[in-house]
Structure formats: structure tokens, C-alpha cells
Amino acid sequence: MKITEVKLALLSAPLRVPFRTALREVSHVEDIVVEVHTDDGAVGRGEAPPTAAVTGETLGSIAAALRGHIGPAIVGKDVRSLEELLLSIERSIVGNTSAKAAAEIAVWDLYAQYCGLPLYKLLGGGRNILETDITISVNDPETMAKDTADAISRGYDTLKIKVGENPALDIERLRAVRAAAPKAVIRIDANQAWSPRQAVNLLESMQAEGLNIELVEQPVKAKDIDGLQFVTNNSPVRVMADESMFSPLDAMTIMQRHAADYVNIKLMKCGGLANALRIISAAEVYGVECMIGCMLEAKVSVTAAVHLACAKGAITRVDLDGPALCSADPVSGGAEFNGKQIALPDAAGLGISGISGLRYLD
């Protein structure tokens, strides 16, 4: 099972409605797909989205890292030596976590195919069904109330609301969402927008008027671990680290200092499943619950995240709505999305049998 070739392609999938946050508006998911081929005809697949604002990676940089560094580090190696392959990917280039994750997911896919097991079973998991939350895009309060009612009618009971654009308007938006969904779990994501004291004040006023926020993601700047700890110690709302945690070392620092109550693991931030497993081990040691999240990703890399979440009890919250936000799914096999429910097939590896409409890069 020697790796003979690493092929790159562009995958494009339209979104149901444009995805809007305080920073950007996007109408399509456009990602790099990696296919790792072996001399016995097997294909492993991975995927990486460009999220310049989070990981610093673009479509061009992902392709260049895979073509110039990560691909050459694994071609000629045997799939049966998973440990060696993972180390080769890790050492091939500094940073470039999404490009590494794409190659790494493809290698895990191949290894699980070789073992004849779905990836979640290879990782020790016994369940193959999860429930995800859904993101409500930032809009005027009336539109957000309508989108909320629509999500509730489609069966979702946990909503994730992006905030941080304009504090007064954010509270109005949350009032509209809460009125449209009195019983839903509402979590908010400030994406680094607030100062530590401002975060505590805003969260206090949200809870004082009964908005009943479950948790807040990344209230302060990614590098401000002191500020994150301040919010965690003083806020009436539980705090989750997202942009503050990329690596297992970041996770250890946050957990040792209790700078956050929860952490959000994304394969694209940590560089793949091996580092995600290290973060989960730390979380198990410290008794910290994890969320598994994704970027605006299609179903290849999200399927890998679903396998991981099905295998690990430390992952208690699931924010894998990327594919649910798309109006078409070019991926055959893999995770099946049915409203809030995500189920995995019993096929070996990721369980993905093909992807239509790929544009191969040479």
C-alpha cells in the first residue's frame, strides 16, 4: 500500500443563503480537496478550506504547501506505517495547519480502509449518530427571527449566533432570536470582538434580561489569554476558547490556567486528527468538555470531524453545520445530514465513495 500520488482539486458548493458574519459575506464554499492514491488502487480523501482570517491560509497557500512540501513528504511511503506518515506530514512544513489537516485526513482514511473499519470504530467509538447546532447568520433582528423560526421548524434545538458587530444591536438581535425560540439552547460567538471588561458587562446584561445564553465563544483577542481568564472568572456565562487554541500546547496552557471553561477543536486549526486526539487527551486529564467545530467546509473534512466526535466522549458539543448550510452536496457517501442529526455509514475509512464536479489542479 505505497502512496504513489497526491492529487489536488477544487471543490465548489453553493450555500443555501449567503453566510454573513461581522467580517465577511460568502455565497459558496470553495475548498481544496486532496486525493492520496496508492499502488493498489485505494484513494484517501481530505479537504481544506481557505480561512485567511483564522489560520492565515488561502487556496493558493494550501495548494502550494501540499504540492511543494506535504505531498513530497508522503509519496513513496507505506500506508500501513501510519505513525511515520503522520510525523512526515507534521515535519514537512511549519504552520499550514489546514493543508496538513487535509493530507492527514486522507492518510487516516486510507489507514482505516486498510484496517477494514469505519474511522470512528478504529478510534474506539461505539456510536455513529450525533446532533449538531446550526449557525444563524448576522442580519437585522427581523430576518434573524425568521431564520431562527425556520431552523426550529427544521428540527434544530441548539442555535449558534454570531455577535460582536455592534453591542446594542447584538442584544436586540438576541432578543429577537430568543423570542422566536423560547426553548432553544442559544450559544453565541463573539469572534474576538470585545475587551475583557466589555465582555463581562455585556454578558451580565444579556443574562440579567433573561436571554439565557449557554456559552460564549472567544469573547476576546486570540492572544489575550489573561483577558480570556478574566472573562472566565467574572462572567455569568461559560466561556469557550476557539481562536485562542490551535495546538495541543495552547490547549494545555488554557486548561492549566483555567482560562476557559470549554475548548472548540477544529481540525483545520490543529492540523488534523493526531493533534485533535492530543487535545482530547489533555481535556480528559483536566476534565474539560470540548466542542467539535468546523470552518465553512463541505462534507469531506466534516465527515472526518464526525468520526472523531463519534469516537470521543470528551466531545460533548457539536458545531458541524458546514454541509447543512450548502444547497447541494457533491460528496457521495460519508456523513449523512438529516436536520440536526448526523449519521455515519458503516463503510471502511471515511466512507466517502466519490466527489462530483471536482476541478483538478495540475
Applying CB under 5 A, the residues found at the interface with Mg ion are 189, 217, 242
Which one is catalytic: 7, 160, 266, 340?
266
> CB-based contacts of 21: which residues, under 8 Å, 6+ apart?
137, 138, 162, 191
CB of 224 to Mg ion, least distance (A): 15
DSSP 348: S
Place of cell 486522507: 106
In the chain the first and final C-alpha atoms are separated, in Å, by: 24
**With respect to Mg ion, which residue has the nearer C-beta, 242 or 297?**
242
Beta-carbon-side half-sphere exposure of residue 204 (alpha carbons within 13 Å): 11
CB of 240 to Mg ion, least distance (A): 8
- Give the number of other CB atoms < 10 A from CB of residue 125: 18
Continuous H helices in the chain: 59-65, 71-74, 82-92, 97-115, 119-122, 141-153, 167-180, 196-208, 225-234, 248-257, 267-270, 273-286, 299-311
Place of cell 449566533: 161
* Euclidean distance between CA atoms 105 and 45, whole angstroms: 7
CB of 217 to Mg ion, least distance (A): 4
Which one is catalytic: 100, 121, 162, 269?
162
CB of 317 to Mg ion, least distance (A): 12
The angle, 0 to 180 degrees and rounded to 10, between the axes of the packed helices 225-234 and 248-257 is 40
Active site residue 121: no
Active site residue 162: yes
DSSP 323: G
- Give the 3-state secondary structure of residue 355: strand
**With respect to Mg ion, which residue has the nearer C-beta, 189 or 336?**
189
- Give the number of other CB atoms < 10 A from CB of residue 212: 15
CB of 191 to Mg ion, least distance (A): 6
Q: Which residue is nearest to Mg ion (CB)?
A: 242
CB of 222 to Mg ion, least distance (A): 11
- Catalytic residue numbers read 162, 266
